[in-house]
Amino acid sequence: MEDTKGHVPVKGRIFDIKKFAVHDGPGIRTTVFFKGCPLKCWWCHNPESIRPKPELVLFENKCIHCNECFQVCLQKAHEKLPDGSRVYHQELCILCGECVEVCYAEALVMEGREVTVEEVMIELRKDLPFYENSGGGITLSGGEPTLQGKFILALLKQCKAESLHTAMDTCGQAQWKTFEKLLPYVDLVLYDLKHMDRVEHKIHTGVSNELIRENLKKIDACDVPIEIRIPIIPGINDAKENILRTTQFLIGIKNIRRVELLPYHNLGESKYRRLGMEYQLNNLKPPDKEQMNEIVEWMRPSGLEVHAGE
């Protein structure tokens, strides 16, 4: 649909807008989560963000067996078995959303929807008093926001036109020309680092880390404030050797404001089953507080401001 000036609004694909976020940058923020990611991290707690297209998710514990979805699905993607149980055939689903519309128990949810810049801004403006009183703003997360560069650029420009503080959470796996266009409108970059060894990085995320490391150096040269985020995954990147290599690399990045260590958790494990995806870290235990504090102490002699999350 065109606007009043005859322009077709650019659209982006998101899967959530989280209000009152306090861990995605300074102050109280609204975090917009975008669909699609070039990485496939084994520990990802938002697997619904990985695939760029919308996905239908079934929450079986919410199903009240009203049978409405069976009636409206012309593709027979929803099947009721003789014993009364149900099966969702993902390969038959065309993502029309008809079953979601009739599921008033919200057992069926569509992860992913298209939005315009104005639709996002309407949600952001609702919380202006919270941003102003806390020094907060908007954070773009995902998934990977830079995969939707055209939409992100339009959204960031509108945010700056309305004097909103902007933060962008990125894995760094993007062409530099994309970052170059976005950075003039970004007040803070939340930058994820997974592993210093390029081979291990590729094993556990699906890509090497050369581009990620190079982009961080280039962002630093643009004098944009940076917060480094490091997920601590037991047995994968928590060895002292890797932590010290990471620290040595970060010493050369002058615009780092803080380093946030994020302990692994398995809260997203059930999402993988609902999405028909394999979870790689079954039975892995999260690091305890003592281990997190030990890693902080390994890094602190560098002069970096290091914090361990809960």
What is the set of domains in the chain, with CATH numbers? 11-52+112-308 (3.20.20.70), 55-111 (3.30.70.20)
What integer best gives the mean pLDDT of the chain? 95
Residue 236 has pLDDT above 80, yes or no: yes
Lowest mean pLDDT among 87-91, 104-108, 235-239, 280-284: 87-91
What is the pLDDT confidence band of residue 256, given thresholds at 50, 70 and 90? very high
Burial (0-12, 13-18, 19+ Cβ within 10 Å), 64: exposed
Torsion of CA 278, 284, 290, 294, to 10 degrees: -70
The answer to whether residue 302 scores a pLDDT higher than 70 is yes
Reported pTM: 0.92
Amino acid 6: pLDDT: 57
pLDDT at 1 over 50: no
Per-residue pLDDT, averaged over 252-277, amounts to: 93
- In angstroms, the CA 22 to CA 34 distance is 18
180-225 pLDDT per residue, tens: 999 999 999 999 999 999 999 999 999 999 999 999 999 999 999 9
Q: 67: left (phi > 0), else alpha (psi -120 to 50), else beta?
A: left
Upper half-sphere CA count for residue 2 (Cβ side, 13 Å): 4
In the predicted structure, residue 4 carries a pLDDT above the cut 60: no
pLDDT attached to residue 9: 86
269, 275, 308 from 289: Cα distances, Å: 21, 31, 8
- 3 pLDDT above the threshold of 70: no
Please state, in angstroms and rounded to a whole number, the distance separating the CA atoms of residues 280 and 81.
30
Tens digit of each residue's pLDDT (9 = 90 or more) over 144-173: 999 999 999 999 999 999 999 999 999 999
Confidence bin at 2 (pLDDT 50/70/90): very low
Mean pLDDT, residues 38-50: 96
Q: What is the pLDDT of residue 268?
A: 87
User: For residue 267, what pLDDT band results from cuts at 50, 70 and 90?
Assistant: confident
Q: For residue 5, what pLDDT band results from cuts at 50, 70 and 90?
A: low
**Backbone angle region of 81, left / alpha / beta, with phi > 0 → left and psi within -120 to 50 → alpha:** beta
Q: Which of 117, 167, 115 is nearest to 141 (CA)?
A: 167
Residue 61 has pLDDT above 50, yes or no: yes
